[in-house]
Structure 1
Amino acid sequence: MTRIQKRNRKVILEAALEVFSANGFRGSTLEQIASAAGLSKPNLLYYYPSKEAIHLELLNGLMDTWLAPLRAMDPDGTPRDEIMRYMRLKLEMSQQMPRESRLFANEILQGAPRIGEGLSGDLKTLVDEKAAILRNWAEQGQIAPVDPYHLIFSIWALTQHYADFDVQVRAVLGEGHDPYTEAGKHLEMLFERLLTP
């Protein structure tokens, strides 16, 4: 692949991310993506055969990025430090990657038609592995007894909310508030209290 081809693919994916995160998969068209990329539709189709192909490439790349902080949870680390680091990384991702968060949320809300196998395969395997670590920490008394799966779900929900519902969060807080700084402090307090034996 030439340098120009790589650049054009990157431009298309960036444009598609913007369009899909704003309109969802069903509300997005190849014409919108091509326009946002500054390309003609035939030129876009040279690189990707369909809207589905673009969407799937974005989702597959996102899954790797999205799961990296969970993969990094170290079973030999200090339990509360590892969990709090994971929570902070997820909150940072919501702040730095809100479009990606909304892309993923839209896919899940539609029933995960393009990544369903990955959810019940690689994602489930990873979550099972980390849940076993969390359960072990709780059994050893290093953290309070918590349901490990629901702890992970809670971290996902409480961090990604700030990206997925950004308009609502900012409307309710009003001007002069930094949602992410305030959220970080609140979530640290919340999870610290939850995890203390």
Structure 2
Amino acid sequence: MPVPKKSAAEKPGTPPRGPRSRIQKRNRQIILDAALEVFSTHGFRGATLDQIAAEAGLSKPNLLYYFDSKDAIHRDLLTRLLDTWLDPLRMLDAQGEPQAEIMAYMRRKLEMARDFPRESRLFANEILQGAPRIEQFIRNDLRQLVDEKAQLLADWSRTGRLAPVDPYHLIFSIWALTQHYADFAAQIGMIRGAGHDPLDGAEPFLEQLYTRLLAP
């Protein structure tokens, strides 16, 4: 699909201004999908604009019509991801039955590992680099949400509705035991064999693990 030409008033590398046409929206999405593949495979430092352009089926100048740098593409992807990343924890309901709520949260995280493996690896790569582009998100939005839900978990333990557990490490363990299936899918595949679903059997195992851990 041809990309619209820049007007003479626009500088090279300047993203288009004003309302976007259907073609512009589609080309931006094609670039973001390609960038997600490249970043999740090579990380931010290993990815290049040439790789993203090739994955998108566009020339590098065409790509630069929409995004003026690799960092701009990466920021856009992370911005879209972060709100989605909080949703499963936000849904932990203070009015629900504690064990059922925690099991539902664990299942939502497993579903994200299955449905959004590239997004999970994008997030993991950013964290491994020290989270330079999302530090404020982690220190503010994510920390505030985790503090809130940790207090809820602590209240459930204090009132005897859950076994005594460290609420922060409970949350961290759910992250580790679910996101592993996306971030280390290649390792699981090498161990379990080609064509094996990395998440096969994960849900009943984690249900058994957390049921025994959390029973009052």
Query: What TM-score range do you get, normalising by the shorter chain?
Result: over 0.9
CA offset digits 1:94-124 (Å, max 9, x no partner): 0111111111000000000110111101000
Amino acid aligned to 1:150: H
Indicate whether 1:101 and 2:120 are aligned. Answer: yes
Q: In the superposition, relative to structure 1, how do residues 172 and 121 fare at CA in structure 2: closer, same or farther (>3 Å)?
A: same
**In 1: Cα distance, 2:145 partner to 2:68 partner:** 32
* 8 Å Cα contact 2:189-2:195 kept in structure 1: no
- In structure 2, the partner of 1:90 is 109
Q: Give the deviation of 1:61 after TM superposition.
A: 1.1
Name the SS of the counterpart of 1:117 in structure 2. Answer: helix
Amino acid aligned to 1:90: K
CA-based RMSD of the aligned residues comes to 1.1
**In 2: Cα distance, 1:150 partner to 1:123 partner:** 15
- In structure 1, the partner of 2:208 is 189
Amino acid aligned to 1:47: Y
- In structure 2, the partner of 1:133 is 152
* 8 Å Cα contact 2:109-2:178 kept in structure 1: yes
Amino acid aligned to 1:190: L
Name the SS of the counterpart of 1:181 in structure 2. Answer: coil
Name the SS of the counterpart of 2:199 in structure 1. Answer: helix
TM-score calculated relative to the size of structure 2 = 0.89
Which stretch of structure 1 is more off in the superposition, 131-140 or 165-174? Answer: 165-174
**In 2: Cα distance, 1:106 partner to 1:40 partner:** 26
- In structure 2, the partner of 1:38 is 57
Gaps of 5+ in 1: none
* 8 Å Cα contact 2:36-2:77 kept in structure 1: yes
Number of residue pairs aligned between Structure 1 and Structure 2: 197
Q: In the superposition, relative to structure 1, how do residues 173 and 72 fare at CA in structure 2: closer, same or farther (>3 Å)?
A: same
CA offset digits 1:141-168 (Å, max 9, x no partner): 1111111110000000000011111111
